[in-house]
Every structure is written in C-alpha cells, then in structure tokens.
A and B are shown apart, each in its own frame.
Chain A
C-alpha cells in the first residue's frame, strides 16, 4: 500500500509545454520533498516544503504544499528536454515515504 499516490504515472510532452504533477495522500506529513531521478542514478532532492500552503519556486519549477499538508503539486513551465526524468515526492515522518513516481519525457 502506497501512502503517496502520484499522477499522472507517465507524461510525454513537447518542449515548451507546461505540466503539473500531483502527489496525494490521506496522511499528514511534517514536510514533503520532491526528487528527480535520471536513469542510472539515485534520486536528487529538488525542494522541501514544510508549511501548509507554502509555495516554492526553483527557476521554471513551482512547488506547492497543500493547506492540510496531505498533498503537493509540481508545476513546470516551458518544459525542456533536460527536465526528462522520474519525479518522486516523499513525505517525512519517522521514515521517508515515497510516492509512486511520475515519468516525464520532454520531446525536443
């Protein structure tokens, strides 16, 4: 049983398009993290959100933590081929609970 469900599971878009990835749970987390994983590598932390309603921006990436701290979204503006990878959300408690993952492919 996955505590964190991500949608969509797969996403293939053209360069320049916008996209949003969702991470949903019925559990409350003290914080939520987003990672990107490229083939042959381990996940790399992109951002940590802590406060309900918090919005963080990292260049073309915008992360939002839900008011109830149960869900989060990642929005990418003007996607580029370098954004291709597996995006994972992770909720923190006594351990890290990872989401099911969203595989993004940006076509040049």
Chain B
C-alpha cells in the first residue's frame, strides 16, 4: 500500500495570506489527524477527522480549519497567516479506532515571511 502523502512539501507565504494543505491517507484508513511541529512547542495536535466529521480538536485558534472528503482525503486551511505559523505540518492516518497506530506523512514545511 502507498503511504500517507502530503502536498505540497514546501511552501512560502507572506503574513496575512491563507494556505491550504492536502493529505491523502493510506487506502482504507478513515481517520486523518493534523499536527503542527515547531522547535519550540514540539508536535501539537490540531484536529482529527473521521468519516468527514471533526472528531477531536486541539487548542488552536479558529484560523486553523480543516475538512475531510468522502474518499478520506483531508485538507487543512490556515487563514491570515502569522510569522508564528511557520512550522512543519504533519498529517497522520489510521483505520479509526481509539488508540490505533497512526501512520505519518512526510509533512509540509510552511515558511511565513
């Protein structure tokens, strides 16, 4: 099976812009979770989608949003970008059960200037 894929791999934006990141999970996986990874804060949970519904949400402002499509692919959107949004954004997929193994994609590295 193909692994989790994320596009684009690298992105440069300026403050105030918005950005959309895409994640394609492993075939058959129904859960997609998004994480933000920075040197200072480490890996922090953004939200999880399961069967097109947001199942869990981390402690991030409303500028961070996501959605999941019927084929389980997911997108994450960040509006009104701030310098502090520069990070590696990782998505992970799993079959969907509680505590199941997550498989991570390679991430999208976002730089906000």
Q: Bin the interface of chain A by size.
A: 20 to 34
**Contact A2 B92, beta carbon cutoff 8 Å:** no
A61 to chain B, nearest CB (A): 17
Contact B99 A98 (CB under 8 A): no
Of B33, B44, B104, which one neighbours A44 at CB under 8 angstroms? B104
Q: Name A35's closest neighbour in chain B (CB-CB).
A: B104
Contacts A43-B104, A48-B101: A88 and B45 contacting too (C-beta < 8 A)?
no
Contact A97 B42, CB 8 Å, known A31-B99, A40-B106, A45-B101: no
* Those of A82-108 within 8 Å (CB) of chain B: 88, 92, 94-101
Residue pairs across A and B with CB atoms within 8 Å: the count is 46
Interchain CA distance A42-B43 in the complex, whole Å: 11
* Complex interface residues of chain B between 30 and 69 (CB less than 8 A to chain A): 33, 35, 42-45, 48, 56, 58
* Cβ-based interface call for A77 (8 A): no
A42 with B92: CB separation less than 8 A: yes
The closest CB in chain A to the CB of B59 belongs to A1
Residue of B nearest to A40 (CB): B106
Contact B105 A96 (CB under 8 A): no
Residues of A within 8 A of B92 (CB): 42
Residues of B within 8 A of A31 (CB): 99
What residues on B are CB-neighbors of A88 within 8 Å? 42-43
B107 contacts the other chain (CB 8 A): yes
- Inter-subunit contact A95/B56 (CB<8 Å): yes
> Does B102 touch A at the CB level, under 8 Å?
yes
Interface-centre pick from A2, A43, A44 (highest chain B CB count, 10 A): A43
Given A42-B4, A42-B92, A42-B106, A30:B43 Cβ within 8 A? no
Name which residue of chain B comes closest to A43, CB basis: B104
Q: Does B90 contact A (CB under 8 A)?
A: yes
B45 near A96: Cβ-Cβ < 8 Å: yes
Q: List 15 A-B contacts (CB under 8 A).
A: A40-B106, A41-B106, A41-B107, A42-B92, A42-B105, A42-B106, A42-B107, A43-B43, A44-B104, A45-B101, A48-B101, A88-B43, A95-B33, A98-B45, A101-B43
Sorted nearest first, the 4 A-B pairs with minimum C-beta distance are A42-B104, A98-B43, A92-B99, A95-B56
